[in-house]
Chains A and B, each alone.
Chain A
């Protein structure tokens, strides 16, 4: 479960929604118990009986020479595929970040490139937007998860399906949707925002909205299964002993979902820092004027300043891998807790 939620977490699409969470949680075992009786009879029926004691001992794979060859071939295929698709390209980016260009190169040149004030602005803007997005999503995610799991109200199922929606919307579509609603010249709320002198699109609030939109479900997805699993016994006990709602939440519920929340926050942060498509649409995207870190990568590459593009990309890769490592470290402790 932890694997699935992490992997489906960072980017788009998955349906492991609030509604499916219980079904998904139990799905491996469910499938197993359903499928086994269904499958075994045909297998035994169709296969000629030829008992062999040798096989039992050798176990799963590698029970004969042919099986061993298949296993080695599969292993080579998988390693080869991952090497050409992921490992080699990623390591080339790292190498080129520090490769000499016109006799100046190495780590010093990299430091010079990243101390460009435009870099400072871009990473600062990205960090600002990401922190806003994570903060908003943590508060909203915590609240909506509690409402969805602990209360019943009309439309609850629909809402739990809807909160999962933002992950399956193309980033460009997210950007376009925000422009259509909030752009000051043609958006639905354009005249209203204009009269209030609030500029959303082509300024920082637009970038914050876009970033928040794309990372919205991540916290909810982590908290809901844990809330469902811990149940309400302890909360009810605390309440019956006279604890108030706030006290019960702070002393019983929050400690139980703490790691799920941290995990969701790390995933949201990684997703928010790396958002590109939605931000590209809602931002001016010019240097010192709405250029986030990912936009800087695209702009520099487009302007044939590949060395700077690689330097910024390297920093983003570093952040991504750090998030990956943090999540990997958190994963076991999360399982201990829940």
Chain B
């Protein structure tokens, strides 16, 4: 299939689409980049190395990394159970996996507080703790690794595993030498998506993170604080850092996917 060159109506459509896309996305994002450096690079560096802001960025990135790691292990386990295990009620699990994506983020926060908040029937209250932030991130990132690993696992030939086993490989060896290398690209992809989601999370954290500087203040809430105190340059600086980090992750992922596709 060879794409045509633009006809006149198509060119007009393209112009219109580009105009709308610029108004909606490109110009506002450019405003962030320019506002963050409006006071010069010195001011930008000064803003993000301010101890309180830096602590917020560090907490955000570390928590997101932790959440991505937990997802690597448990997400792969969930995908394995969904594909290879069989028991009554398994179909319900499929729906449960998607719930965190379907729920509005603010509702996700409220949902977690019902079990892990002030009125917890378990007596656990995670409000204003780093554990609470971690829990919220685990909730919103749950489907990423599961949904990237699941289709690959589904396509993976069980013959190869059986061959390895029939040659005497233990379950662990089969998993490590046969399945894991095949699943690795999908696991990495899922983990990167989960990480990118986790560093930008806002809604689920609003009610849970108590927003205490140096302890439970994350980057997105720091941005909100800057906006509310009308410090737009500082807000734009933190926003730029988040933008750059998630873009870097997504570009790395794109390169990885191209490499995997090319090997075929």
| A binding-site residues for B, Cβ under 8 Å | 1, 3-4, 6-15, 17, 19-20, 23-24, 26-36, 38-40, 42-44, 46-52, 55-56, 59-61, 63, 66-67, 70-71, 74-75, 77-79, 81-82, 84-90, 92-93, 96, 136, 140, 143-144, 147, 149-153, 159, 161-163, 165-166, 168-182, 186-188, 209, 212-213, 216, 228, 231-232, 245, 270, 273-277, 280-281, 294, 297-298, 301, 309-310, 313, 316-317, 320-321, 323-324, 328
A294 in contact with B107 (CB, 8 Å):
yes
Q: A147-B10, A176-B235, A276-B106 are in contact. Are A96 and B114 (CB under 8 A)?
A: yes
Interface string of B69-112 (1 = CB under 8 A from A): 00000100110110011010000010111111111111100111
B84 in contact with A61 (CB, 8 Å):
yes
B144 in contact with A7 (CB, 8 Å):
yes
A151 in contact with B4 (CB, 8 Å):
yes
What residue in chain A is nearest B260 (Cβ atoms)? Answer: A31
A93 in contact with B114 (CB, 8 Å):
yes
B224 in contact with A153 (CB, 8 Å):
no
B166 in contact with A55 (CB, 8 Å):
yes
A180 in contact with B32 (CB, 8 Å):
yes
Interface residue SS majority, chain B: helix
Known pairs A15-B189, A171-B202; list 14 more (Cβ under 8 Å). Answer: A7-B147, A46-B177, A51-B166, A60-B162, A75-B85, A144-B17, A147-B13, A152-B6, A169-B200, A228-B1, A273-B104, A281-B227, A294-B106, A320-B99
Interface membership of B62, Cβ < 8 A? no
A-B contact pairs, 5 of them (CB 8 A): A27-B185, A74-B85, A213-B28, A277-B203, A313-B111
What residue in chain B is nearest A153 (Cβ atoms)? Answer: B6
| B binding-site residues for A, Cβ under 8 Å | 1, 3-6, 9-11, 13-14, 16-18, 20-21, 24-29, 31-32, 35, 74, 77-78, 80-81, 84-85, 87, 93, 95-107, 110-112, 114-116, 121, 135, 138-140, 142-144, 146-148, 150-152, 154-158, 160-169, 171, 173-174, 177-178, 181-182, 185-186, 189, 193, 196-197, 199-203, 206-207, 220, 223-224, 227, 232, 235-236, 239, 242-243, 246-247, 250, 253-254, 257-258, 260-261, 263-264
| 9 cross-chain pairs, A with B, having the tightest CB-CB distances, nearest first | A274-B104, A170-B200, A50-B168, A177-B28, A7-B147, A30-B264, A180-B31, A277-B202, A28-B155
B227 in contact with A31 (CB, 8 Å):
no
Across the interface, which residues of A come within 8 angstroms of B150, CB to CB?
Answer: 3
What residue in chain B is nearest A2 (Cβ atoms)? Answer: B151
Across the interface, which residues of A come within 8 angstroms of B177, CB to CB?
Answer: 39, 42-43, 46
CB distance from A148 to the nearest CB of B (A): 9
Q: A13-B193, A13-B197, A50-B168 are in contact. Are A86 and B142 (CB under 8 A)?
A: yes
B243 in contact with A173 (CB, 8 Å):
yes
**Residue from the list A34, A36, A86 in contact with B157, Cβ < 8 A:** A36
**Residue from the list A34, A66, A181 in contact with B263, Cβ < 8 A:** A34
Across the interface, which residues of A come within 8 angstroms of B250, CB to CB?
Answer: 13, 15, 168
Across the interface, which residues of B come within 8 angstroms of A136, CB to CB?
Answer: 20
| Most chain A Cβ neighbours within 10 Å, of B31, B93, B178, B197 | B31
Q: In the bound complex, how far is the Cα of B184 from the Cα of A31, in angstroms?
A: 10
